[in-house]
Structure 1
């Protein structure tokens, strides 16, 4: 049978009758049964041979290459459907808890936090102060850790909505049948769409992927988070009136992150900024249009207040078409006002297209103008005695504009210090008229003197810089674009400049100088205040250790202090979880991050400039991934005082923000957890435990030594490349940027994402546990029973230590050394294979033993039954696919026939995708 005929195979004549169960209560069984049977029906329609695979009754290794690919795809689809069931079940459980116990019983809600605050004696002035300063900004990044295409995301959302509808008891059998039919159709469309990107994705597609979540959920649900806080404040502080600002916004790196990505140019960033702006403007337009349909209030029924009539007269006069607007809706003054706004917004949208069309009449210079117009409409209704309409219908639109402005997100620009330093060296050469090679060492006193001298010189005329390379011109063009977009699009269109690989104060001052060349200073001479926040990113362990001294020196510089004061009064510092983990292992990374934040917080306090942290977390445990509330809770006391930022990457974004109910909960969980941390920090500071810190330092050093011994083994690179699909990951096409920053072929230059991704695929997952067993054993051997008692006490009382051990145990549960051994057979050199696998095997056994000894558990991850259940449900399939992947790697690497190699490649990539979906994370 041809592949086409196989694909189009008709549904068998006999199909077992299926009466779909009604979804009730909080158990996921009914929903699981519905989705499984729907997938079985689709399978029978297109590939009946694979039903036995879905039922776990077939050996996929015996399938033809084509059927193997289909089998891997169908297993991946089933994992995605299971995730929908779990998301839906979690949502129903939260609602059930709220209905039966009250909202304050649901952890992670504002009600829960405020109820505890009131019980602890927190007074209203403290809440007022908190609301004045708190700013929360999750930041979406284009890190290549999302294996789902946008078109698949859309269909999965439709399935989620159908499943939610099926919960409702109001449907007739005919209506339920229609819902089930649509659900099956969406599964069938996923089947026929394909899971893999056939071409390398582009930055433009990544931008579309990011905006998808705003269109589907975030535009509507962020205002809901603010309303939830307002309602909770009214309940727990009923005698107070609180002004809740637009404290929750999103940042973004997609289209602005050029660190090692040659495809992100200044032109791409310009296009991204304009697309982001139009996305929010179009949503505002839709909401304004809805208001126009709603506000059909005639002055015959409700006299128009004098103040609002004056506002309307001014808008009609400015519109250039006032008579026509009045004639269209005579006497309907609120609708006339809305029409003026709508026309002005249409002109603004047109002006911000890539090829703008300038319409006659006024346009909005910035979002503040639109906000003021909506306020005028809102106040007009209030003055007319229609407060309910103003608050319930108009204010939500104003809130939306205040949050998203003409930018949707604050787009950060990220670049690494190597690139900015090269640009500065070329600028130096152009100014001095000397070769670049003669530039002073960038860490020398001479270089610092040149930087400070240039920063202090007034610059009223743009300097002509000759002889710059294309790369340096591109860097300058990016900074010039920031100045342009902040003026022409929105003052908040661009967030910050993130400087990767920050090594010194000179690195940061160099960026201030580039910003000066691009006219990004508020004063025309360019010596007083830089309007673009420059955020150093400290990534490796050595960088984290150097960070306090760097920031202490930086905050003593008047230019920096003046700029920070204007930018909001705090200096942001980004800390990287991925590279520090790759550098020193899981335990050392977490402890060094904790120490760095504690010391940097002290530096900020001493300098009188609070430091706010931007957490560069990934989705997997090895890249800083952890439950939101517990991750925030485990931060050093006092380290969250103003702004809290965290990266949301790839699969984390789709997990949190694909569906509205989940998105609202995840955002409230983040915000409530930040509020809770701030309110509790003072008490926790008084409970500092030096003995715990001493133990953490000892454990960190010991674990890092063992981890370093592994990664510095002379055969580790050969082992890793052969015993994992490291090189093959680049074929998966899930990100626009290369796997290595500068194209080198060394372990040190390998990005953290493929490092973690490949270790997860081959089931070693050393990035999430290696070295910890030896560290615990060494600590107990040296300190004896007192040491063991101390570790057990830390497990009960130390939040950072408990979080580390909990996540280590979850990771250990995912490791399978019998499968890992099969991957090791791909390493040609037997000595390297045996030595490295033995090291991993011994350390794994020791880590399991020590984890249970400290936690007192009977089995690994015993404290997390839901996690174990979820994993055990998936492991039989994941294990089977993992074993098949070993053979696919062997076949793909050895195959010389191009056609057969392509067959193997397709199945191999589907296996990578299937394992990633099964575990719920890639890199």
Structure 2
């Protein structure tokens, strides 16, 4: 299918509809101030023209009021700006809903990357048997995280879903009602959500989207690829972080984890009950009906009360359904056998756990906790730990930890809350495994993992606390910073050569999951180096693991934007080549990436199929993606130059002050979108290492300067141009799909940048020179990416994606203008030493409120 029709479909199904519905939307009286809907287009036009002729945001806002609203009081002007924010937030929702409704029309649901297409290609290439073999051992795991990059409360998500349906049906009455509801529904949370609240809002996706889409995909593979009615590898599964992710979140307690696990189990049981209720209406045959009714009754009671007397084990439920299926085939001409198969498949996929709850904590916390535990064991005379344990070398400590057996720790002996909670959490994992099955909670991720000792501390803690003889938990080290990525292979070799740890891996099927994080990698090393650092680490870890007959499973900590490892992720997995282990694709998805890529049945199914296909295609066409030594040398050199450029930029004396005073960084903490604090330490001083990746990347995005998604790329390319060796980069671009994908994602970051918004900063006494450094890197990167790709404009190869970004950026242009206007007012008032904090508070509120719409609008996985 050529490019043109997709853009055409986008214009017809999205753009035209948006213009029609937006004109209806603008006439609705949402508020006491009349004419807001009439004035917003005028303000939008003023912004557009103002930036085109080089005006700054303050001039644009002042011009608008002078020209159209000269009689308004200052208070009335502020009120109108708030109304504009309110309208624009809702325009973003409208565009989201229209885009969701048009998803199956704009995207070819049977085109490249879909299962139907994959099966067709395998048949035509004579590789169907090979495809079946791969599908038996290949897995995709998407892990839902609570990281707050999504600003919609649950009530608004519900409206988006209903609005999408109404738009699909062209139901004008319903659309009007939903517009009115949208106008009266608050868009921001007055209080921070608890970790449990975050879990509940993500369980909504499990119940309403993934239960359906995972089931459909599995059914399709079973019926169309195998067609033998047998149980096969589940292929797709789902991980879950809310309620288990303790890293930097003091509000996740052991009872939170238990509560979330119970909620997950109940949600799964409710879905099975609903399916059985439907089956009951169909399976009205003798010898079948009463058995279905019995199961339905048990599951109904069990889903309401997990402590009910009459329960059923997951295996028992499956055995009974398989037995009923046998009767249907034998005695009732296989009537409705596909319906019962569908339920059996879903139970096979989701068990009684629905999603696997991961536990995560920072290695530095473990170290503190473990030191306290050791001190306690030394005091109580445990024979294994000598008094000088803390003075021993890392090697000797690991040797002792390898020998840990039953110590029967009484966790109540520890008064320190962090120590008690960490040990209690280990007991909770065991409890969850007993109630939800082993998959309910069987992974413990150590973030900021730097050494083999970090892993062995947790290994022995798990054994000392709850897993005495049989450790049914995978320990997953997470390597994030550039030095940690470089060090990862030697850490893993230390573990692989430890006989006790090796025994543990044998009991876990000789598989070792290793997590690699993009967010902090980009923050630490810049865009190119973060991605290349991970690629190289994966290669070396693959080689190291294969040497010891271990299958490495890579789990990628990807965020929404390219700057946090996001962007077009399936293209990454299709481009890895033969040197990287690819039995499984595992990645985190969060915030607006969940709602944009997996928020509806259509988008969820399409994007899951793309992920499955990308992993499989990488295996079927492995050798096409192998990088030559020359290409690797060029890639490495580009990454090193870019890394140095980014490091120099980061150590610029104005880097932290600029973020602190010119961006929205400090306002993130005031948005009440996530339960986690926005930085790691409690100090008032802003320290770079304390910064979380989400506010960091988000602040650059609000400035429309997307630095983490491109900085250093231009300088690296320019070095080749200056040396007259640009042809080497062109060669790499032509040969390497990995490099190509990297640059395409970087183009998305550039496309979403808009330097006219902050051009006024270039004249600032304090920050002018710093702003110019950023702008210069932006123009260099843009110019050389166009030269390299041969495009006339950015994202030329993705016209519908580019068009979507353009509409979204256009919708929020007035919002960005208002935000910059308010930031400038705050700076002016602070310079004047104004004591009237009420005035400052109002402008701060404008900045915070305008954060919401800006973030929600940029949901193109970017």
Alignment TM-score > 0.5, same fold: yes
Show the counterpart of 2:100. 87
Q: Is the 8 A contact 2:592 2:856 kept in 1?
A: no
Question: Is this contact kept in 2: 1:640–1:678, CA < 8 A?
Answer: no
- Find the residue that maps to 1:28 and give its secondary structure: helix
Superposed CA deviations along residues 137-178 of structure 1, whole A, max 9, x for unmatched, are: 100000011111111000010010011122xxxxxxxxxxxx
Counterpart position of 2:311: 363
Q: CA deviation at 1:824?
A: 6.7
| Partners of 2:27 and 2:37 within 8 A in 1 | no
Aligned to 2:302: 348
Matched, 1:473 2:461: no
Q: Which residue of 1 aligns with 2:50?
A: none
User: Given the alignment of the two structures, is residue 806 of structure 1 paired with residue 744 of structure 2, yes or no?
Assistant: yes
> Structure 2: which 5+ runs fail to align?
1-8, 48-60, 66-75
Task: Kindly indicate whether residue 806 of structure 2 is the aligned counterpart of residue 872 of structure 1.
Answer: yes
Offset of residue 919 of structure 1: 2.2
The more displaced of 809-818 and 531-540 is: 809-818
Give the one of 167, 184, 189 matched to 1:192: 184
The 2-side partners of 1:464 and 1:161 are apart by: 52
Cα distance change, pair 558–907 in 1 and its aligned pair in 2 (3 A) = same
Task: Quote the residue 2:232 is aligned against.
Answer: 244
Q: Distance in 2 between matches of 1:72 and 1:864?
A: 30
Partner of 1:382: 329
> Which residue number corresponds to residue 502 of structure 1?
449
Determine helix, strand or coil for the equivalent of 2:566. Answer: coil
Is the contact made by 2:519 and 2:563 (CA closer than 8 Å) also made in structure 1? yes
Deviations 1:718-773 (A, max 9, x none): 11111101001111111110111233431111111111000110122111111111
Q: After TM superposition, list the pairs within 5 Å mapping 1:205-354 onto structure 2.
A: 205-233=197-225, 243-298=231-286, 333-352=287-306
Which structure 1 residue ranges, 5 or more long, are not aligned? 1-22, 167-178, 299-332, 524-528
| More deviation, 268-277/24-33 | 24-33
State the alpha-carbon separation in 2 of the partners of residues 478 and 405 from structure 1. 22
Rounded Cα–Cα distance in structure 1 between residues aligned with 2:691 and 2:465: 32
- How far, CA to CA, are the matches of 2:14 and 2:416 in structure 1? 60
Q: Secondary structure at the match of 1:426?
A: helix
Q: How far, CA to CA, are the matches of 1:557 and 1:24 in structure 2?
A: 56
Q: How many Å apart are 1:892 and its aligned residue? A: 4.6
- Checking the alignment, whether the CA contact within 8 Å between 2:714 and 2:777 is kept in structure 1 is yes
Q: How many Å separate the matches in 1 of 2:594 and 2:861?
A: 13
Determine if the alignment matches structure 1 residue 429 to structure 2 residue 375.
Answer: yes
> Are 1:908 and 2:847 an aligned pair?
yes
Q: Does 1:78 align with 2:91?
A: yes
Distance 2:256 2:404 in 1: 32
Summarize the Cα distance change of 1:628–1:808 in structure 2 as closer, same or farther, 3 Å threshold: closer
Taking the aligned partners of 1:856 and 1:440, their CA distance within structure 2 comes to: 65
Paired residues, number: 816
2:782 pairs with 1:848:
yes
| Residue of structure 1 equivalent to 2:21 | 35
Match runs of 1:629-640 below 5 Å: 629-640=570-581
Cα distance between partner residues in 2 of 1:78 and 1:255: 33
- The 1:248/1:607 distance shift into structure 2, 3 A limit, reads same
Q: Which residue of 1 is the match for residue 35 of structure 2?
A: 49
**C-alpha contact (below 8 Å) 1:416/1:501 kept by paired residues:** yes
Q: Which residue of 1 aligns with 2:51?
A: none
Out of 651, 655, 659, the residue aligned to residue 596 of structure 2 is: 655
What value does the CA root-mean-square deviation take over the aligned residues? 2.6
CA–CA separation in structure 1 for the residues paired with 2:260 and 2:411: 28
Answer yes or no: is the 8 Å Cα contact 1:38–1:183 preserved in 2: no
Name 2:707's counterpart in structure 1.
766
CA distance in 1, matches of 2:602, 2:325: 28
Query: Does 2:434 match 1:487?
Result: yes
Q: Distance in 1 between matches of 2:853 and 2:598?
A: 22
Name the SS for the 2:278 alignment partner.
Answer: helix
Shift of residue 466 of structure 1?
4.1
Confirm whether residue 458 of structure 1 aligns to residue 385 of structure 2.
no
Q: In structure 1, what is the equivalent of residue 351 of structure 2?
A: 405
Question: 2:402 touches 2:501 (CA, 8 Å); kept in 1?
Answer: no
Query: Which residue in the other structure is 1:395 paired with?
Result: 341
Aligned to 1:582: 523
Distance 1:54 1:379 in 2: 64
Runs of 4+ in structure 1 over 6 Å off: 438-442
The 1:474–1:448 alpha-carbon spacing in structure 2 relative to 1, beyond 3 Å, is farther
1:898–1:285 CA distance, 2 compared to 1 (3 A): farther
Q: Paired residue for 2:159?
A: 155
Alpha-carbon distance in 2 for matches of 1:213, 1:648: 12
SS of the counterpart of 1:734? Answer: coil
Deviations 1:343-373 (A, max 9, x none): 3334533552xxx4x33xx312x32221122
For the 8 Å contact 2:404–2:463, the answer to whether it is kept is no
User: Which range is displaced more, 860-869 or 244-253?
Assistant: 860-869
Give, in whole Å, the separation in 2 of the partners of 1:663 and 1:539.
28
Partner of 2:127: 122
Q: Is the 8 A contact 2:30 2:184 kept in 1?
A: no
Shift in alpha-carbon separation, 1:450–1:278, aligned structure 2, 3 A: same
Once the two structures are TM-superposed, the CA of residue 425 in structure 1 deviates from its matched residue by 0.5
Residues 460 and 757 of structure 1, relative CA distance in 2, 3 Å threshold: closer
TM-score scaled by length of structure 1: 0.84
Structure whose CA Rg is larger: 1
The answer for the alignment partner of 2:582 in structure 1 is 641
Give, in whole Å, the separation in 2 of the partners of 1:264 and 1:463: 22
Q: Cα–Cα, structure 1 residues 201 and 138, in superposed 2: closer, same or farther, change >3 Å?
A: same
Indicate how the Cα distance of structure 1 residues 823 and 911 shifts in structure 2: closer, same or farther if over 3 A, else same.
Answer: farther
Cα distance in 1 between the residues matched to 2:504 and 2:333 = 44
Is 2:606 the partner of 1:676? no
Q: Counterpart in 2 of 1:515?
A: 462
- 1:686-724 per-residue CA deviation (whole Å, 9 max, x = no partner) reads x44111100011111111111111111122111111110
Alignment check: 8 A CA contact 2:195 2:242 kept: yes
Deviations 1:384-420 (A, max 9, x none): 1432422x22111111211111111001000010111
